[in-house]
Chain A
């Protein structure tokens, strides 16, 4: 999965809000879907972790929505696909890494990587945007993403790294013999 992006220096404030909103909306989708997977496979601890993360992203999305006022965020974000060279959000996690025996530690690792990419993304806007207002707003978003990174790291203290045998299953799904 590529994490490359190409942010135009001429980005406007409405574009920045649309991008930030899309990142949050994609994250809500992703965490809700992971919560569904874990609930379906009877992993209630992980279901709760992913639902909490989805709710946290929902709060951020609403905050951006409020800041944007009348701006058509969805339409604007659709027009901005070129910002992310692969059309994927910088926070995009690799859902193929989900495992039915994964632990909260794994979920938080997945989450941390996404938050760090989002942090790097907004930092790059602070460094390259021509408009001072855009740079200021991007700096706010950097602060917010830094808080997310810190939050995830704090949560990780509660969940130690599992032993190497975490995925051991004595009744593996196996090809028919």
Chain B
């Protein structure tokens, strides 16, 4: 039997598409795109066997800027789409891109269920603690005192704690990265894709337009002081007590990833057309 070549030698630039990225100048998402392409090159992923799925928002533009399969889905539903794809085509490498609004608010329940299912894919959330695309509304991770015309005096709401929620829900790999360190972020993405099961990577990605204060993140982030643990309770305790700026792999679990009992089925196109005929 001829072995199927699953890896290729590509340069990071080979994973960039011809579509020019449109984000605000200085946006952290540019770095994240750079990290994606560098990580994919390090992993030697075949573009035709790789899919980037996204929802809606600034961060979710990323599939258009990459040379591999992409699915720019509907708001908050990127994980639902990716789950269906991975179950039907377990041979594909599936990476999901989202933002804090898309991923934690509109798609909040999908996030919990995806962690619980532990399907082998990587979920990347570019967190800038604001809805940037719709001009600066508070998101689930926005600080309670973020004072704008839309939230006078701040929302007063306790921010969502995605890393702890991921751990409590069963994610098998949890990491935090900072977009301003694109090589380190790429290395974390490489580890996340390689780790079996559901890998969750939160990337602090500044919105310099609506959260110019986030320019200071570069002076605040620091490496996590201890190596990743495989004990979710210990990881949760560490994350709950850190300053939100610890960068690195924080948890590596050993849960067995979900496997479909049925497996992929090939269905004739004509049969599908018949089933879905109106």
Chain A residues at the B interface, C-beta cutoff of 8 Å: 1, 26, 29-30, 33, 36-41, 74, 78, 81, 84, 86-89, 94-100, 102, 173-177
Interface size class of B (residues with CB under 8 A): 35 or more
One of B23, B135, B137, B187 near A81 (C-beta < 8 A) = B187
- Tell whether, in the assembled complex, residue B12 and residue A176 are in contact, meaning their CB atoms are under 8 Å apart: no
- Tell whether, in the assembled complex, residue B24 and residue A87 are in contact, meaning their CB atoms are under 8 Å apart: no
Min distance, Cβ A73 to any Cβ of chain B, angstroms: 11
Min distance, Cβ A149 to any Cβ of chain B, angstroms: 23
- Tell whether, in the assembled complex, residue A86 and residue B184 are in contact, meaning their CB atoms are under 8 Å apart: yes
A151 CA / B73 CA spacing, docked (Å): 47
- Tell whether, in the assembled complex, residue B24 and residue A173 are in contact, meaning their CB atoms are under 8 Å apart: yes
- Tell whether, in the assembled complex, residue A96 and residue B181 are in contact, meaning their CB atoms are under 8 Å apart: no
A176 CA / B136 CA spacing, docked (Å): 7
Q: How many A-B residue pairs have CB under 8 A?
A: 88
What does the 1/0 interface line of B228-270 toward A look like (CB < 8 Å)? 0000000000000000000000000000000000000000000
Contacts A37-B25, A98-B25, A99-B26; A87 near B150 (Cβ below 8 A): no
B116 at the interface (CB under 8 A from A): no
- The contact sample of 19 A-B pairs, CB cut-off 8 A, is A1-B218, A30-B34, A33-B34, A39-B20, A78-B42, A81-B187, A86-B183, A86-B184, A86-B223, A88-B183, A96-B28, A96-B215, A98-B25, A99-B25, A173-B24, A175-B137, A175-B148, A175-B210, A176-B137
Most chain B beta-carbon neighbours within 10 Å: one of A33, A89, A96, A174:
A96
A98 CA / B31 CA spacing, docked (Å): 12
B208 at the interface (CB under 8 A from A): yes
- Tell whether, in the assembled complex, residue A96 and residue B206 are in contact, meaning their CB atoms are under 8 Å apart: yes
- Tell whether, in the assembled complex, residue A1 and residue B26 are in contact, meaning their CB atoms are under 8 Å apart: no
- Tell whether, in the assembled complex, residue B218 and residue A94 are in contact, meaning their CB atoms are under 8 Å apart: yes
B105 at the interface (CB under 8 A from A): no
Residues of A within 8 A of B149 (CB): 175-177
One of B24, B31, B34 near A100 (C-beta < 8 A) = B24
B74 at the interface (CB under 8 A from A): no
Q: Chain B: which residue is nearest A35 at the CB level?
A: B20
What does the 1/0 interface line of B1-40 toward A look like (CB < 8 Å)? 0000000000111000000111111101011011000000
Min distance, Cβ B191 to any Cβ of chain A, angstroms: 12
The 5 closest A-B pairs by CB, nearest first: A175-B136, A87-B183, A98-B25, A87-B184, A98-B26
Residues of A within 8 A of B137 (CB): 175-176
- Tell whether, in the assembled complex, residue B181 and residue A88 are in contact, meaning their CB atoms are under 8 Å apart: yes
A34 CA / B81 CA spacing, docked (Å): 32
Most chain A beta-carbon neighbours within 10 Å: one of B24, B25, B28, B137:
B25
Min distance, Cβ B70 to any Cβ of chain A, angstroms: 18
Min distance, Cβ B132 to any Cβ of chain A, angstroms: 10
